[in-house]
Amino acid sequence: MALLPFVLLCGFADFTGSLSITTPEQMIEKAKGETAYLPCKFTLGPEDQGPLDIEWLLSPADNQKVDQVIILYSGDKIYDDYYQGLKGRVHFTSTDLKSGDASINVTSLQLSDIGTYQCKVKKAPGVGNKKIQLTVLVKPSGTRCYIDGSEEIGSDFKLKCEPREGSLPLRYEWQKLSNSQKLPTSWLPEMTSPVISVKNATTEYSGTYSCTVKNRVGSDQCLLRLDVVPPSNRAGTIAGAIVGILLALVLIGLIVFCCRKKRREEKYEKEVHHDIRVRCEYQLDLVLTLNTKSSKELCFLLT
Ligand SMILES: *[C@@H]1O[C@H](CO)[C@@H](O)[C@H](O)[C@H]1NC(C)=O
Ligand SMILES: *[C@@H]1O[C@H](CO)[C@@H](O)[C@H](O)[C@H]1NC(C)=O
């Protein structure tokens, strides 16, 4: 009879023992590379007298694989070398598991760690288990801000903000950092979008802007310098740049040409010189009917 209120209180609890896991089922989100703490605390009843066994299972998100044992506590020993995917990255956080803490840490999180983790505790006749969903997200990083189009007065162009990686959903926020520090009013509807479409640009738009990209686990930022200039200036600048690039190309071409020529010359110098000299001597001998010695000297000077 003394047991009756307890059973009523527990509602759906296990009737075969009073072991119960006190940590609620939950979803945990962490960034790639971080450590996930997966809690699993339990209480025992006086009738739970068997040996304590703790087992953590993982059913990976891709569903192709069956549940994998990832760490086990049995007969007062810890076994953690079951699952290659988590080798060396899963540990019990408590040094005294018998005290009712079966929580684990998974370190250096990877995207392949996404899945459902199940904590199973057994101390006969008591049994209990709890599931935790783990999601690993990638922080936004490598974000690039740039202008798509020409920054001329009266022209239309786009300001773009692109993170190299980052899990969805991503949130964007543009800010102006210089001058009035206020975004032009016509941009406000797009201040939380990855692209701002600028129409009929004016010099007042010039300044430094920042774009911040956020998701649930992190944020990243990039800066952009906008200089709205008259079209002629712009054309002049571009022409100047093109001339500069062309000159540089010509210079590089010349250097490459000379180097190659020099190398080729060095390589064949001996043979060629010898060849020329012999021909020269032969011709001179024929034409001038000089003696061989003087034609040799002349040819040496000529070549
Ligand atoms: C488990 O990870 C948490 C961070 O998520 C950390 O604070 C705690 O110290 C870690 N515990 C152990 C035993 O490594
Ligand atoms: C562009 O802006 C200028 C002054 O800011 C205005 O005079 C002109 O009418 C605008 N053009 C268009 C097409 O909106």
Interval between CA 285 and ligand 2 midpoint (Å): 86
Confidence (pTM): 0.62
On the 0-12 / 13-18 / 19+ scale of CB atoms within 10 A, 178 is: exposed
The reported pLDDT for the residue numbered 4 is 44
Residue 234 pLDDT > 70: no
Give the lowest-confidence range in 27-31, 77-81, 269-273.
269-273
Query: Band of the pLDDT at 288, cuts 50, 70, 90?
Result: low
pLDDT tens per residue across span 204-216:
899 999 999 999 9
> Distance (Å, rounded) from C-alpha 282 to C-alpha 298?
12
Q: Considering only CA atoms, which of 41, 67, 36 is closest in space to residue 54? A: 41
pLDDT over 70 at 287, yes or no: no
Higher-pLDDT residue of 31 and 299 is: 31
Minimum mean pLDDT range among 40-44, 161-165, 257-261: 257-261
Question: Which one, of 140, 158, 137, lies nearest residue 222 by Cα?
Answer: 140
**What per-residue confidence (pLDDT) applies to 251?**
86
Which of helix, strand or coil describes residue 80?
coil
Q: Is the pLDDT reported for residue 42 higher than 80? A: yes
| Ligand positioned closest to the Cα atom of 92 | 1
Please tell me the total number of residues recorded for the chain in this structure: 303
> pLDDT tens digits for 174-219?
999 986 778 888 888 889 999 999 999 998 899 999 999 999 999 9
pLDDT value for 10: 45
Distance 178 CA to ligand 2 centre (A): 24
- Average pLDDT (79-97) is 93
In this predicted model, which residue has the larger pLDDT, 180 or 278?
180
Nearest ligand (C-alpha, residue 95) = 1
Tell me: pLDDT of 122 over 80.
yes
Q: Which positions ≥6 away from 171 have C-beta within 8 Å?
A: 192, 213, 214, 215
User: Worst-scoring range by mean pLDDT, 114-118, 170-174, 227-231?
Assistant: 227-231
- The per-residue pLDDT for 282 is 65
| Three-state SS at 87 | coil
In this structure, the strands spanning 26-31 and 126-137 are parallel
Ligand 1 neighbours, Cβ below 6 Å, are 35, 37, 93, 105
Are 152 and 139 spatial neighbours (Cβ–Cβ below 8 Å)?
Answer: no
Looking at the CA of 204, name the nearest ligand: 2
pLDDT above 70: percentage of residues in the chain: 79
**Ligand 2 pocket residues where CB is under 6 Å:** 154, 200, 202
CA-154 nearest atom, ligand 2: 1
- Looking at residue 86, its pLDDT comes to 93
Q: Can you give the pLDDT at residue 117?
A: 96
Residue 6 has pLDDT above 80, yes or no: no
Fill in the amino acid letter for 57: L
Question: Where are the alpha helices (H) located in the chain, listed in sequence order?
Answer: 4-10, 231-288, 292-302
